[in-house]
Amino acid sequence: MYINYLAVVVCAVVYFMLGGLWYSKLLFAKPWMSAIGKTEEELKGKGGAGLAYVVAIISALVTAFLLSVFIYFAGVDSLASGTKIGFYAWLGFSVTTLTPVYFFEQRPKKLLVIYAGYTLVAFLIMGAILGVWR
């Protein structure tokens, strides 16, 4: 099995950076904080941001690596096919994992849309990158 580890690292960085943009004031920071019932001051006051960033980048690396494995076994070698595998991985793993939690915990549907939207865009971009950069 051949995995392009440089492509995996690039995808992880893209995923991580997209998260920074997605949850920034430019996009969804305000509705996200409202949906989780926190203020900016509360989030900054916990002191655990460093650990959160470490967990986020490790998670991004694992996700990019496993998506690369799926793409390898699917025999993907194009942008369109990589994007399709990214979509299927998102639908089959991300959405199906997130959705029940929101219904059982009775969390705001807006929060589910924010999280699922982020992972959708990330999986599509990573799938596209991995599909062409083999």
Which of 19, 1, 21, 107 lies closest to 63 in space, CA to CA?
19
Tens-digit pLDDT profile for residues 35-90:
999 888 888 766 667 888 999 999 999 999 999 999 999 999 999 999 999 999 99
Report d(CA 129, CA 97) in Å as an integer: 24
Query: 123 to each of 5, 57, 127, how far by Cα in Å?
Result: 17, 15, 6
Q: What is the mean pLDDT of the chain?
A: 94
For the stretch 106-116, pLDDT in tens is 999 999 999 99
pLDDT at 45: 66
What is the pTM assigned to this prediction?
0.93
Model pLDDT, residue 48:
65
Give CA–CA dist 43/83, Å, rounded.
Answer: 34
- As given in the structure block, the two tokens for residue 84 are 């399709």
